[in-house]
Structures are given as C-alpha cells and as structure tokens.
Amino acid sequence: MRVRRPVTLTAASSVAVLGATAVAMRTLISRQAAIARRRIGKPLGEQALDADRVWRRKKHPGEPVELLLLGDSIAAGLGAGHRRDTLGARLAKGIAREAVRPVRLRTAAVVGSETSALALQLAELPPDYRADVAVIVVGGNDVTHRVPANRAAAQLEEAIGILRERGMPVVVGTCPDLGTLRAVPQPLRTLASRSSRQLAAAQARAAHRAGARVVGLARAVGPVFAERPDEMFSIDRFHPSALGYRRTADALLPAVLATLPTAPSSANP
C-alpha cells in the first residue's frame, strides 16, 4: 500500500489540476464573451432594411426571377446602409445583370435567427409561393449560442428538404469564420473559429445530402474579412458592411446563377 500511495495521490492531483484548469477556462471564456458583447453592442438595432421589391437593370423584359432569402442577420442584410447594399439586393442585381431579367426579392430571413428558426420562416411563406432559387445563410448564432453542430446541420437539412419538395433549388452559404471578428478577444476568437468551421463542415455535408448547392463562405470570403476588417465589417464590427455584402454576394452568385434555367453557359456549376 505504501508503494501505491504516491501513484494514487499523483492521479488525484492531476484530476484536481485538470478540474481547476477547466473551471478557470470556463470563467475566462465567460468573461471574454461578456467583453465581446459590450464591444459589439447593438448599434445597428435588430431590424434590417427592407429590400424586398423587383430589382432590374434598365428595362429587362419577361417575368421576374423569384429570389428567396432565408436565415439570419447576414441573409437579412443587417449592417448595410442602404437597401441596395443588402445581401438580397446584391444577389438580385447580379442575377438581373447576368440573366437579363428582372428579379423579385423576398426576404424571409430574420435577424438573430438560429438554424431552428428556418422552419418558422418557411411556415410563414404563402402556401402557393415558389421561388426560382432559395438562398440560405445561417449558423453564426448557432455558434454563439453553442448549439451542437450536428443538431443545427440536421435542422438545415430538414429545411432544404422542404424547399426541394416544393420544387425550389437551394443554395447554402455555410457559416462564416467567426475567427475574423477582431472585437472578440483571444482565446475565445480561436474557439469561435474552430466551432464555426466545424459547423460549416456539418452544414456542407447536410446540404449536399439534401440536394443543395454549397458555397463555403469561410474559404470564399473569410480571408478578405480577416485582412481588411475596417472595410468589410459595419460599425458594430460583427455584421458585414456594404463592401462585405458585395464580396459575399459575389461568392454566392455563380452557384445561384447555375440553378436557373436561364443561367449563362459561362456560369460556374
């Protein structure tokens, strides 16, 4: 027994140290989350600009392309200073330019939404509504509210399934890299980056299974947001600026165009 006591004490001590470290890390993360919330605040409010209308370039003929935006504050366009700079408007104008048709935008996205809110956004659409393409951008709030990635991905897959059953092509912009948020201190920013990338990977798998096109926003626009935060982010340092939305729309547009029967042959599949 005398021989085993040091081993037992060493193991107990290790467990105690690990427990204390975990408690200290949780305390640190909680404090840093509070700091981030104070830094970001809500200078933009909680209501995005209303950009829903028919967008056209010059006098494009024909019936409008129906464009539906679902998801969170990025899909809603919070942070844009003018409705023409929201994500939906940017996409609508890009479609109108390339497809040479007017585009009717409908934004069902709601600021602050987690992926679980997609079901309600779909339920509030008119029963006979059918979009020519639906774009979903969601995930950031799931990360900040620590929703398990697998649960959020399953909710996304269910929403895509509903849209596909109604005959609507779907494009998913996966969760952006929250590691680009300079207002979030370290090590919380690194943890947020890891969680957002894990969610994006789970979203991509779920979207592919459900038959949607996928655009990895962390890879497509994450680097420019990280390199040029003063330009890419709005005044709250959390939501995109007009330029940030332009870059995000540019990343999504090829996949959106590829879903349309009138898409140019040069559009990326």
Residues involved in catalysis: 73, 236, 239
End-to-end CA distance of the chain: 70
Which H, E and C letters describe 4-60, residue by residue?
Answer: CHHHHHHHHHHHHHHHHHHHHHHHHHHHHHHHHHHHHCCCCCCCCCCCCCEECCCCC
Beta pairing, strands 65-71 & 133-137? parallel
DSSP one-letter code for 236:
T
Rounded distance, CA 143 to CA 201, Å? Answer: 13
Position 159: which residue type?
Answer: A
Rg (CA), the chain: 22
Q: Sheet containing 103-107: give its strands across.
A: 54-55, 103-107, 65-71, 133-137, 170-173, 213-215
Which H, E and C letters describe 107-172, residue by residue?
Answer: ECCCCCCCHHHHHHHHHCCCCCCCCCEEEEECCHHHHHCCCCHHHHHHHHHHHHHHHHHCCCCEEE
Rounded distance, CA 228 to CA 216, Å? Answer: 19
Helix, strand or coil for residue 88?
A: helix
Q: Is 100 left (phi over 0), alpha (psi -120 to 50) or beta?
A: left
